[in-house]
Amino acid sequence: MDKTKRIVINGVVQGVGFRPFVYKIARQLGVYGFVLNSSKGVIIEITSSDEKIEKFIKELKEKKPPHSEISKIDVMDLKLKKFKEFKILKSSNDSNIVTSIPSDLAVCDDCIKDILDENNRRFLYPFTNCTNCGPRFSIIEKIPYDRKYTTMKKFRMCADCKAEYEEPSDRRFHAQPNACSLCGPRVWVVSSQLKIIKKGWIDYIVKRIKGGNIVLIKGLGGFHISCDAFNQKAVSELRVIKKRDFKPFAVMVDDIKYLSDYLYINEEEKKLLHSPKAPIVMLRKKENKLFEFVAPLIDSVGVMMAYTPLHRIIFKDLRDAGFKSPLVMTSGNFKDEPIIKENDEAMEKFSGFDILLHNRDIKNRIDDSVVFLDGKSNIRLIRRARGYVPDSIKINSDIDLNIFASGADIKNVFGFYRKGEVILSQYIGDLEIKENRDFFVNSYKNIKKLFGLNFDFAVIDMHPSYYSSEMTKKFKIKNIIQVQHHISHIYSVMAENNLKDNVIGVSFDGTGYGLDGNIWGGEFFLMKNKEIKRVAHFDYIPLCGGDIVTKEIWRSFASLFYRRRDFVYDFLKSKVDKKTIDIVFKMMDKKINSPLSSAVGRIFDAVSVIVTGDVMSEFEASGPMKMENMAYKTKDSYKFDILNDSGTYIIKSDSIIDDIIIDYKNGKKNFISAKFHNSLLNIIKYLCVILSEEYSIYNICFSGGVFQNRFLVNSINNVFDKRYRIFLNSKVPSNDGGIALGQIYYAIRTDKIIFHNRKEK
């Protein structure tokens, strides 16, 4: 006996070929009805026997498209309906938006074949795509994900493209950005002399790159600035433009073979490079100097594959011309500003350079993601952006409220919660810069509109001067919850791993406003019975000048070695003016503008001054990154002291400092980094073992920017035995880009939401 069922599917089910997939399954099983996209998700109505309907639902789950993600399937009975066939219907809209938005996908192998086949009508067409690849988040304006709600709406499909779009057996069946050279977006170049080049644009760009020039290329989520990665003059000029003297640039290739002589690449890294997410992957250098222009003084280079047809076409012509170098592909912006996405802005800000433009508008700007693989091939995110955003993160909660989280001020990423999932924004950047604050506000408004959300709660950092918190307060969200920065870090790991409670948390980074008004960053927490206790931390040191220490890292050195002033003066005598050092010590003595800090990030900076000789930081964490390369030289370590102060363990650095000075004076400077890293691991193990035994808790979470250090990440699992369960961030960065997830989970898990609701009632 036939029955009619309505099936509503939520998750990433739009823009990933889900409706064509449903259509094919229905046709194969002989099931009649329809499927359509809506703001509630994918809606299916079918009439058939119980047996066929059961098989239909089973195949939906088991054979779903590779880039889709099903978070929920609701099945309900309807009054019997008679259908004559199975159809894909036009999308419907609803104010209650529960579906997700797909992330942008790297060009697939089939589309690469199309653009390289001289007999294919898409030969060398830069905007070739199908249901398995191409733009998604970067072009969407509204849900449901249909062409008319994207920036492709102005391009009317030609007869051939429309036939593909409507043919169920075609891989471009309902591919929303589908286009060709007759009906789709086009490319042109505005030369450095302001000449517009439409025909021969590829020959011109290739000639300019080969000639050692810098060009701008409009890509998927914004502009890149590009040049020959092995051309020292071009890279040096790019550093002047970007005001980045030493900070590494990412590079792009079309084939791994062009890197195998220069970088170590394992099979898992190859898979990640060629994956649909196609992030920048940090790869270790071999013993050669070619990448020293691009990534000086550190042991790794960020590499990504050419992930759009446009990139592939540029590389094809470069290779045909005998060019074998990678290309620098760095964000098209000035230092720390948002990536440029508009043609007019690119032409205004980079007038005098060759600029490759196109007329497929970018609605949502988005940078490239950056990752590395740890020793166990786990993905560790450094920047979560293209390919990962706006994928949702499922968490263990059935609270049916909308929660906004503002994130931090550095490496800002905000986020929101709706029943059972968290969606994080693209990378916003440092909010000290006005353009990034504008980006924050505009992205908030866009996300709110896109998902049709009104927020019941906001969660912010407790820092009294954070821009992210102040801007959030202006969003007129009624209930606001504050949370301490490093507690958020730990809760981000707990959220990823669905840990509700009973956790020891280790949070190491460079700064964060503490509950006592000091600067925290070397913290051990106990999360038990929904209570949070700071159970250990590094001893405080005064940081003269406050935030300036992140640039003038010799100040952190003077602070850490405060007790050994004779050594500080002697070491800095040819590097920093003595009068300046005098002033710094006097300010610390009199406690003038010298906030107390327990931050491990600042301790790393201080030790790096001795190891590298640098007294200024070229870019954030440049000293610690250089130190990491030297962390493998010995397994020896320094002794350390830990005091129990009324139940709180205080880590004293005096013994470490004295032994570092001895090593330096004895000509063993090259071993200081390794011994310091090993000491840090010993401190972590010593305290975690004590705390685990004391509180009978064996779940240990690690987070904070310091845990982007590969040596520490790879070593942590090795220092603990099987009794301990070790957790690190893998779905969000351990740096401040993961804070928003932790803020939300803190509010949910500590019952702050319930408490607020009771107060309201």
Question: Nearest Cα to 485, choosing from 522, 539, 439?
Answer: 522
Q: What six digits make up the tokens of 210?
A: 């080969």
Domain extents for the chain? 3-88, 101-384, 391-483, 536-687
For residues 38 and 145, give the distance between their C-alpha atoms in angstroms, rounded to a whole number.
Answer: 8
Contact 216, 207 (CB under 8 A): no
Instruction: Name the region of 336 (left: φ>0; alpha: ψ -120 to 50; beta: rest).
Output: left
Residue with tokens 């870090």: 489
**Phi, psi of 405, rounded to the nearest 5 degrees:** -125, 130
Half-sphere exposure in the Cβ direction for 333 (13 Å, CA): 18
**Phi, psi of 130, rounded to the nearest 5 degrees:** -155, -170
The amino acid occupying position 329 is M
Of the CATH numbers 3.30.420.360, 2.40.110.10, 3.90.1150.10, 3.40.50.300, which one belongs to the domain with range 391-483?
A: 3.30.420.360
- Whether 19 is catalytic is yes
Residues of the chain with pLDDT under 50: 758-761
Q: What six digits make up the tokens of 439?
A: 């980006």
The amino acid occupying position 678 is N
Per CATH, the number for 101-384 is: 3.90.870.30
Helix, strand or coil for residue 529?
coil
Q: What six digits make up the tokens of 438?
A: 């504008």
Exposed / middle / buried, residue 531 (Cβ in 10 Å: 0-12, 13-18, 19+): exposed
Question: Nearest Cα to 553, choosing from 624, 629, 492?
Answer: 624
Q: What six digits make up the tokens of 126?
A: 């830069």
Q: Which residues contact 99 (CB under 8 A, 6 or more apart)?
A: 10, 11, 13, 14, 37, 38, 39, 40, 41, 42, 143, 144
Q: Which residues contact 249 (CB under 8 A, 6 or more apart)?
A: 229, 235, 238, 294, 295, 302, 328, 329, 330
Which residue spans within 315-378 are E strands per DSSP?
Answer: 327-331, 354-358, 370-373
Q: What six digits make up the tokens of 239?
A: 């550093």
- Tell me how far CA of residue 103 lies from CA of 250, 272, 275, 391, in angstroms: 21, 16, 13, 6
Of the CATH numbers 3.40.1000.10, 3.30.70.100, 3.40.50.300, 3.60.21.10, which one belongs to the domain with range 3-88?
A: 3.30.70.100
CB atoms within 10 A of CB 655: 13
For residues 639 and 204, give the distance between their C-alpha atoms in angstroms, rounded to a whole number.
Answer: 62
For residues 8 and 573, give the distance between their C-alpha atoms in angstroms, rounded to a whole number.
Answer: 71
Q: Which residues contact 157 (CB under 8 A, 6 or more apart)?
A: 165, 178, 179, 183
Question: Nearest Cα to 497, choosing from 733, 739, 741, 727?
Answer: 727
Helix, strand or coil for residue 229?
coil
Contact 246, 619 (CB under 8 A): yes
The vertex-153 CA angle with 362 and 110, nearest 5°, equals 75
Contact 684, 719 (CB under 8 A): yes
Query: Residue 217 belongs to what H/E stretch?
Result: strand 215-218
Q: What is the DSSP string of 65-104?
A: -TT-EEEEEEEEEE-----SSEEEPPPB--SS-----PPP
For residues 200 and 13, give the distance between their C-alpha atoms in angstroms, rounded to a whole number.
Answer: 40
Q: Which residues contact 34 (CB under 8 A, 6 or more apart)?
A: 44, 45, 83, 86, 87, 88, 89
Q: Which residues contact 587 (CB under 8 A, 6 or more apart)?
A: 544, 545, 593, 594
**Phi, psi of 70, rounded to the nearest 5 degrees:** -95, 120
Which residue spans within 503-559 are E strands per DSSP?
Answer: 503-508, 522-528, 531-538, 541-542
Question: Nearest Cα to 602, choosing from 624, 584, 582?
Answer: 624
For residues 133 and 111, give the distance between their C-alpha atoms in angstroms, rounded to a whole number.
Answer: 8
Helix, strand or coil for residue 48?
strand
Beta bridge partners of 223: 218
Q: Which residues contact 605 (CB under 8 A, 6 or more apart)?
A: 510, 549, 550, 553, 556, 557, 617, 623, 624
Contact 561, 552 (CB under 8 A): no
For residues 537 and 544, give the distance between their C-alpha atoms in angstroms, rounded to a whole number.
Answer: 20
Contact 11, 71 (CB under 8 A): yes
Of the residues 6, 10, 37, 666, only one is catalytic, namely: 37
Residue with tokens 């987070």: 703
For residues 65 and 61, give the distance between their C-alpha atoms in angstroms, rounded to a whole number.
Answer: 10
For residues 535 and 648, give the distance between their C-alpha atoms in angstroms, rounded to a whole number.
Answer: 5
For residues 666 and 663, give the distance between their C-alpha atoms in angstroms, rounded to a whole number.
Answer: 5
Quick one: DSSP state of residue 278?
-
What pTM does this model have? Answer: 0.93
The architecture CATH gives domain 536-687: Orthogonal Bundle (1.10)
For residues 14 and 2, give the distance between their C-alpha atoms in angstroms, rounded to a whole number.
Answer: 29
Half-sphere exposure in the Cβ direction for 371 (13 Å, CA): 28
Of the residues 10, 19, 402, 418, only one is catalytic, namely: 19
What strand order describes the sheet that includes 421-424? 392-394, 421-424, 415-418, 403-405, 457-461, 479-483
- Whether 37 is catalytic is yes
* pLDDT of amino acid 39: 76
For residues 173 and 187, give the distance between their C-alpha atoms in angstroms, rounded to a whole number.
Answer: 25
User: 187-230, pLDDT tens digit by residue?
Assistant: 999 999 999 999 999 999 999 999 999 999 999 999 999 999 99
* pLDDT of amino acid 335: 83
- Tell me how far CA of residue 534 lies from CA of 104, 141, 145, 599, 648, in angstroms: 41, 45, 46, 14, 7
The vertex-450 CA angle with 447 and 452, nearest 5°, equals 100
